[in-house]
């Protein structure tokens, strides 16, 4: 009986993670939301910008998801001259939206 519950929870949480990643992709690709494609190239994205760096292999550039999240929250704390908007600090995106974007971008090859 416990194995059935364990399997159920694994399936539930893995499907929630996929849903968050899909939501993160939507936020990153949607003009009215994060609109990351305005400045960055992202796999599967159409008409990317060239202002910011390509958003691929982020686990190689950030120590962990928390550091990436902090960067999206307010990039000026890492680079005062950045042109990247402080998505969290200025409440451009909600905490949940930022978390979803981080989950999505962390997995982009």
Domain ranges for the chain: 17-107
Helix-, strand-, coil-residue percentages of the chain, each rounded to 5: 55, 0, 45
Among residues 109, 106, 87, 103, which one has the least CA distance to residue 24? 103
Task: Give me the pLDDT at residue 56, please.
Answer: 94
Task: Give me the pLDDT at residue 3, please.
Answer: 58
Q: From CA 42, how far away is CA 34, in angstroms rounded?
A: 13
Asked if pLDDT for residue 105 goes beyond 60, the answer is yes
Q: From CA 63, how far away is CA 75, in angstroms rounded?
A: 15
CATH superfamily of 17-107: Cytochrome c-like domain (1.10.760.10)
Task: Give me the pLDDT at residue 2, please.
Answer: 60
What pTM was computed for the model?
0.81
pLDDT tens digits, one per residue of 46-104: 888 999 999 999 999 999 999 999 999 999 999 999 999 999 999 999 999 999 999 99
The torsion of the CA quartet 80, 104, 57, 86, rounded to 10 degrees, works out to 0
């Amino acid at each position: 009986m416990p194995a059935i519950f364990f399997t159920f929870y694994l399936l539930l949480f893995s499907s929630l993670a996929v849903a968050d990643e899909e939501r993160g992709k939507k936020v990153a690709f949607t003009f009215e939301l994060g609109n990351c494609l305005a400045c960055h190239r992202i796999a599967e994205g159409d008409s990317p910008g060239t202002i910011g760096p390509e958003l691929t292999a982020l686990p190689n550039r950030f120590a962990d998801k928390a550091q990436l999240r902090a960067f999206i929250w307010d990039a000026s704390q890492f680079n005062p001259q950045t042109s990247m908007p402080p998505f969290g600090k200025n409440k451009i995106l909600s905490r949940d939206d930022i978390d979803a974007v981080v989950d999505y971008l962390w997995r982009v090859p």
